[in-house]
Every structure is written in structure tokens, then in C-alpha cells.
Amino acid sequence: MGGELAQDVVSLQSTDGSNPRKYFSTNGVVFDCAPHSLLEGLAKGVKGILGLGNGYVGFPTQLANAFSVPRKFAICLTSSTTSRGVIFFGDSPYVFLPGMDVSKRLVYTPLLKNPVSTSGSYFEGEPSMDYFIGVTSIKINGNVVPINTTLLNITKDGKGGTKISTVDPYTKLETSIYNALTKAFVKSLAKVPRVKRVAPFKVCYNRTSLGSTRVGPGVPPIELVLGNKNATTSWTIWGANSMVAVNNDVLCLGFVDGGVEFEPTTSIVIGAHQIENNLLQFDIANKKLGFTSSLLFGQTTCANFNFTSKP
């Protein structure tokens, strides 16, 4: 499969962090005219793919060089089908209505390097351009899920570990991790009756049996524990990001078995649904990820950035 490498002018609207400002342009931005087959499986209406990877031709690096801004970007994906999320290139603040600078809610964890590429095509010896983080354990309702933690380490041949993906709609887990997580989740809701599963999900409930909270359906939080014994933090996934509404009546646990469709290389792939209404800051230069967990706790969402010219 081939494509056509080219260069063109890119114009982006600047911001002071609260409101949009004037447009800036730069020429010589590298892009690829790729075949439509690369869009198969992506959301309806997608016209192309923006390469945000940690590489020297990645869009964040090209913009950092062109506009002399930090090699850093932040994404905030909306859960709405009618409102836009936002992506920032360069530094904070990131002010969302009603006047909240969500950069102050960021918690940081190191970005890890996978020595072997995880893309579909690459040169031998090329490292991965994906963003990996150091998940060391998983908790549900505060209880550690019993998994083989060696799967969470990145091996010399590039297997294992945890990466973040906006291409995968839901978080994929290596089969044994998936089975352990779903078992623990069901146990934590032992008194709530399940309903018939809806593919590709395994664990489903009637919406009314779960109730609701400020951060989504009333289900136990899922914690991704990050770091090491000396410095740990948790990325907490609340009901709005752990559950998927498959219809008006049924909610399903929005994690899928990565071992069903393919032999997994990466043990955990955090998908787009799990990062909706979470602001993630990828600080490439300083090799760290900032994350907020759900913005719903702050009574705002990723759709609440002011895209108009007036405050």
C-alpha cells in the first residue's frame, strides 16, 4: 500500500487559552495523500487522519518547529455527537466554560518509550511513535484486580505495556486481563442483575438498575494505577467512561477482549471512549502525560471551550 508524500500550507487559529484569536499560517507542512482504505473502520464522516505521534514528522513536532511553541499538545474529546471537542498545540492554560482552567487539574505520569514500532508498517529498528504509560495495576472499587503484572511491562521485543489510542473506540485488554477485570467488575455489582450481552461487550445491565451520578452511571470506579512504589497516582475511570449505552435501556461495560480478533502486541490499549471528557496533555519534550480524569466532576465538558470570538 502506497501514498503520495507532499507539502502544503496549514492555518490554525491561535488562542489565549480562553478565547480564539487570529489565525497563523505556515508552509512546508508534510502530509500524505493515502488511499481511502486507511479510513475503513473509523467513525462515519471521517475525511482523514491527523498524525499526532511522537515522531519528527508528527504534526505536534512540525508545529512546534514552525511556530516556536513547546513540543506539547492537549486533546479533549467530547462525548457529544453534535458538539466539538478541542485540541491545543503548545502550552496551557486551557480555560473551559464557565471559566475553569482545567490545566490546574492535571496530574502527571511519565511517557514511556517502546523500543519497537507498534504501527502497521515501519523500518526495522524504528521505535514506536505511540504514547505508552506505566500502568502497574488495576483496581475496581479500591480492590486490586488479580492479573499477571508482567504483561504490563514493555519487553525488549516491544510487547506488553499500555498505550493510548484515539483510533480504537474502546479499551482493548489482553485476554487474561480482560477476563480478570470483567470478573471483578461483575463481583462488585453482584446484587445487580445482568441482561443479555450486546456484542462486542460481555457485561451488560439495565440502565435503570444502575442509577446515575454526576460522573455517569452508578458503577464502581476503575483505577489504572500508574508509576512505581516511590511515586504512584491513579487515572480513575468513572461510569461515564466505563459504560456504553448500546440502546435506550441497556448499558454495557465498555472494554473489549483484544485477544479475540488478533494476537495482541500491547496488553492494554486505552480507547477513545475511556478518554472522552478527560483532558490529556502530551508533553513530548519532557516525556510526561498530564491527565485530569473526568471533567464532569468540575461541572464542565470537552465541548465547553469557547470557539466564538467573544468571551
Reply yes or no on whether the pLDDT at 123 is more than 70. Answer: no
State the distance between the two ends of the chain, measured CA to CA, in whole angstroms: 47
Residue range 128-140: average pLDDT?
96
Is residue 75 one of the residues assigned to a domain? no
Read off the pLDDT of each residue in 108-115 and give the average, rounded to a whole number: 95
Domains in the chain, number = 1
Q: Report whether pLDDT(4) > 80.
A: no
Q: Which three cell numbers stand for residue 145?
A: 484486580
Residues in the chain: 311
CA distance 119 to 154: 15
Cis preceding-peptide flag for 311 (omega within 30 of 0): no
**Could you tell me if residue 119 is inside a domain?**
yes
pLDDT band at 226, cuts 50/70/90?
A: very high
Cα–Cα distance for residue pair 1/121, rounded to 1 Å: 10
Q: Average pLDDT for residues 130-153, to the nearest whole number? A: 96
Q: For the chain, count helices (H), then strands (E).
A: 6, 23
Q: Distance between CA atoms of 166 and 26, rounded to whole angstroms? A: 26
Q: What is the mean pLDDT of residues 28-57?
A: 79
Report yes or no on 149 lying in a domain.
yes
Structure confidence at residue 275 (pLDDT): 97
CATH of the domain at 222: 2.40.70.10
- 118 vs 129 pLDDT, higher one: 129
Q: Tell me, what's the pLDDT at 66?
A: 87
- 199 burial level (CB within 10 Å; 0-12, 13-18, 19+): exposed
Flag whether 213 is in a domain: yes
- Compute the average pLDDT of residues 247-260: 92
Q: Which amino acid, 38?
A: L
Kindly give the pairing relationship between strand 268-270 and strand 162-164: parallel
Choice between 125 and 173, residue whose per-residue pLDDT is larger: 173
Q: Establish if 37 belongs to a structural domain.
A: no
> Would you say residue 2 has pLDDT above 80?
no
310 pLDDT tier (thresholds 50, 70, 90): low
Indicate whether 191 belongs to any domain. Answer: yes
Average pLDDT score, the chain: 90
Q: Is the pLDDT of residue 276 over 70?
A: yes
pLDDT one-digit tens code per residue, 48-89: 788 899 888 888 999 888 888 899 999 999 999 888 999 999
Residue for cell digits 468571551?
Answer: 311
Q: Between residues 265 and 219, which one has the greater pLDDT? A: 219
Strand order in the sheet with 204-206: 204-206, 250-253, 243-245
What integer pLDDT is reported at residue 203 of this predicted model?
Answer: 98
Residue 44 lies in a domain: no
More confident residue, 62 or 237: 237
Domain residue limits at 220:
112-273
Q: Which whole number is the average pLDDT over 158-174? A: 95
The answer to whether residue 21 is domain-embedded is no
d(CA 239, CA 177): 20
What is the per-residue pLDDT for 115?
93
Which pLDDT score is estimated for 263? 58
Query: DSSP 3-state assignment of 210?
Result: helix
Q: Is 271 helix (H, G, I), strand (E, B) or coil?
A: coil
pLDDT band at 31 (very low <50, low <70, confident <90, very high): confident
Quick check: 113 pLDDT over 60?
A: yes
Instruction: Report residue 175's pLDDT band, with 50, 70 and 90 as the boundaries.
Output: very high
pLDDT band at 260 (very low <50, low <70, confident <90, very high): low
CB-CB contact of 131 with 162 (8 Å): no
